[in-house]
Amino acid sequence: MRVSDIPKIRSLMLFKDMDEDSFSELTRAAYVQDFPPQVDLILEGDRCDFLHIMIDGSLELFAEWNRHETALTILRSGATFILAAVVRDAPNLMSARTLEKSRVIMIPAEDVREIFQKDHEFARAVVMELAYCYRGVVKGVKSLKLRTSIERLANYLLKWQKKTGGSDSFTLGIEKRRLASILGMTPENLSRAIKTLRPYGVEIDGQNVKITDPDALKGLAKPSPLIDDPRS
Amino acid sequence: MRVSDIPKIRSLMLFKDMDEDSFSELTRAAYVQDFPPQVDLILEGDRCDFLHIMIDGSLELFAEWNRHETALTILRSGATFILAAVVRDAPNLMSARTLEKSRVIMIPAEDVREIFQKDHEFARAVVMELAYCYRGVVKGVKSLKLRTSIERLANYLLKWQKKTGGSDSFTLGIEKRRLASILGMTPENLSRAIKTLRPYGVEIDGQNVKITDPDALKGLAKPSPLIDDPRS
DNA sequence: TGATGCAATTGATATATGTCAATTACATCA
DNA sequence: TGATGTAATTGACATATATCAATTGCATCA
């Protein structure tokens, strides 16, 4: 663990309110690892004895069934995984693979459980984090079951625009085939969905997105805070 | 709160390991309510100041968007809701409506939070419960994104067969249109999917299901513990 | 017991989405 | 800079799923 990583970790939701003693106990027990892109960090079905925290880079959580694979989400700096499996001492439901060069902190599950018992603020943060993740997945199910793929794409663009600062021009930040998988569609259909959004003021060229008529896009997307607002 | 309800509550996962004092403090603060069928208990978008616990009956959690509605899950005796919204003090992402005459316990959110601070075992149980719910939803997403509607139905039948005791004859226990909604399909398509399963030894007449060739059905369903086992 | 209302089914059709094959665009690297 | 490999796109087509309309089945109750 490098000293320079510590403030970054300390500022994360999961750790920022906890006791100083507990925090240093946790960080003493933690490992830091750097990974190149395209590395599988954890495997669906395996047990996982470490809570993982992304410090830098990005990765995808994905799952397989019957020779098909689907991406469930992209995690970036500051995200934790896989808390639920660690907490329940259960097999991972998802695999994780780095997309970029990534730095990850790994805290032994036992230490997490131990500090959980000692430090109320940490316990509270774990509960908040789990509830946050739960709500995120519920929003995903609502989007999948209630929207067409074009509507999901439209809402994804609006959400990502906001996340990247709100400018009308921004970058996708992810390969299109992964985006397609996250949105629950094929790459071919994503291409076609992007064309379909052109009359709604969406111009996508490679990684560059420009939204020229936000109102038209919102008219199609009908974003709802109960599906699309990550904070709600 | 009736005295006769107390042992039932005490035996639930969320409460069974907690301190006796904390438990009686929680139950003192709790309300019990009986509801007829088809009553909306909580509404998507509202705040919810109570943790709910099903004591008897059944209800569905559902959500709406753009004039469409989808059922997310059916809850039966022993289930809690909506813990994540209570914990985060956030608006409900789902509505809840009774399907049968139901008895529900309501514990004020403040009391839950207070006992959470005092009682380690309860805190641990809350975390376990949240992680359990999270994993349930993740399994649902995997099923939705990786399987066809026929495969989802086949796996539902196998899972429900196991849950009801494993006999080759059992009852569906839910209206077909609700089942269709949960599985992410229309009632019309559920009817057709049921027909499609006939060559795989599935006979459904009204509420009565008979599985005459479990191996054939499993061959189609390809059940996986990482999607279909509620305990995994 | 017949009338009523709603769930379930069925058939016809429309739409959404996936698959396959071919091509183009683009990045990487020798 | 050209060769190579992979992502992205496109078109043709297949399949899955939804929609609409009509009918049937079934439970309820006056």
- Beta-carbon-side half-sphere exposure of residue B225 (alpha carbons within 13 Å): 8
| Residue ranges of domains in chain B, CATH in brackets | 3-144 (2.60.120.10), 147-228 (1.10.10.10)
Residue B173 has a pLDDT of: 96
Gap between the Cα atoms of A183 and B142, Å rounded:
13
In this complex, the answer to whether residue A184 has its CB under 7 A from any atom of chain C, a nucleic strand, is: yes
- For A41, residues 6+ apart whose C-beta sits below 8 A from its C-beta are A35, A52, A59, A96, A97, A98, A104
Which residues of B66-219 form beta strands (DSSP E)? 68-76, 80-81, 95-98, 102-108, 169-171, 202-205, 208-211
User: What mean pLDDT is predicted for residues A46-56?
Assistant: 95
pLDDT at B102: 96
The order of strands in the sheet holding B95-98 is B40-42, B95-98, B58-65, B68-76
B93: closest CA of chain A, how far (Å): 6
User: What value, to the nearest 5°, has the Cα angle with vertex B81 and ends B79 and B85?
Assistant: 155
Nearest-CA distance A67 → chain B (Å): 10
Cβ neighbours for A106, distance < 8 A, ≥ 6 positions apart: A30, A31, A32, A33, A50, A51, A52, A53
The Cα–Cα gap between A209 and A166 comes to: 12
Q: Which residue of A has its CA nearest to B121?
A: A117
B82, B121, B138, B181: best to mutate for the A interface, most A CBs within 10 A? B138
| Edge-to-edge order in the sheet of strand B169-171 | B169-171, B208-211, B202-205
Hey, is the C-beta of B118 within 8 angstroms of any chain A C-beta?
Answer: no
CB contacts under 8 A, A 71-100 vs B, are: 72, 83-85, 87-88, 90-91, 93-94
Residue B220's pLDDT is: 98
d(CA A176, CA B197): 36
Check whether residue B211 has its CB closer than 7 Å to nucleic acid strand C. no
CB atoms within 10 A of CB B37: 13
Q: What is the DSSP letter of A4?
A: G
Name the strands in the sheet holding B31-35, side by side, starting at the edge strand that comes first in the sequence: B31-35, B102-108, B50-56, B80-81
CA distance B224 to A162: 38
How long is the CA A54 to C1' D4 vector, in angstroms? 34
CA/C1' separation B99–C1 (Å): 30
HSE (side-chain half, CA atoms, 13 Å) at A65:
26
Number of H helices, E strands in chain A: 10, 11
Question: In angstroms, rounded to a whole number, what is the distance separating the alpha carbons of residues B185 and B99?
Answer: 20
pLDDT per position as a tens digit, A125-167: 999 999 999 999 999 999 999 999 999 999 999 999 999 999 9
Nearest CB partner across the interface for B138, out of A64, A93, A147: A93
Is cis: bond before A227, omega within 30 of 0?
Answer: no
Residues of chain B with pLDDT below 50 are none
User: At a CB cut-off of 8 Å and minimum separation 6, what does B83 contact?
Assistant: A131, B51, B126, B129, B130, B133
Give the distance from residue A4's alpha carbon to the nearest chain B alpha carbon, in angstroms: 31
Q: Measuring from the CA of residue B187 to each C1', which nucleotide is nearest?
A: C8
What pLDDT is recorded for position B2? 77
Cβ neighbours, 10 Å, residue B222: 14
What pLDDT score does B45 carry? 98
Flag whether pLDDT at A220 surpasses 90: yes
Residues with Cβ within 8 Å of B123's Cβ and at least 6 positions away in sequence, in order, are A116, A123, A127, B116, B117
User: Which pLDDT does position A3 carry in this prediction?
Assistant: 80
- Given this model, what pLDDT does residue B4 score? 83
Q: Which of residues 189-228 of A touch strand D (CB under 7 A)?
A: 190-192, 194-195, 204
The Cα B204–Cα B162 span in angstroms is 17
Position A4 confidence tier, pLDDT thresholds 50, 70, 90: confident
Measure the CA dihedral A154/A155/A161/A163, to 10°: -160
- Reply yes or no on whether the pLDDT at A1 is more than 90: no
Query: How far apart (Å, rounded) are the C-alpha atoms in residues B171 and A171?
Result: 52
Determine the Cα–Cα distance for residues A55 and A11; give it in Å rounded to an integer.
Answer: 11
Report A:28-67 residues touching B (Cβ under 8 A): 44-45, 63-66
Q: What percent of chain A has pLDDT over 90?
A: 97
Nearest Cα residue to B88 out of A149, A229, A96: A229
- The helix or strand, by DSSP H or E, that contains position B227, with its residue range, turns out to be helix B225-228
> How does pLDDT run across A113-126, given as a tens digit for each residue?
999 999 999 999 99
Residue A195 CA: distances (Å) to CA of A153, A182, A190, A203, B59:
11, 19, 9, 9, 42
B120 to chain A, any CB pair closer than 8 A? The answer is: yes
| A96 vs B contacts (CB less than 8 Å) | none
Asked if A13 is an interface residue toward chain B (Cβ–Cβ < 8 A), one would say no
Q: A-chain residues within 8 Å CB-CB of B63?
A: 142, 146, 226
Cβ of B120 near strand C (under 7 Å)? The reply is no
pLDDT of A2 reads: 77
**Does the beta-carbon distance from A232 to B91 stay under 8 Å?**
yes
Distance from CA of B63 to the nearest CA of A (A): 7
Rounded CA-CA distance B220/B148 in Å is 11
| Beta-carbon separation of B146 and A66 below 8 A | yes
Q: Greater confidence, B5 or A103?
A: A103
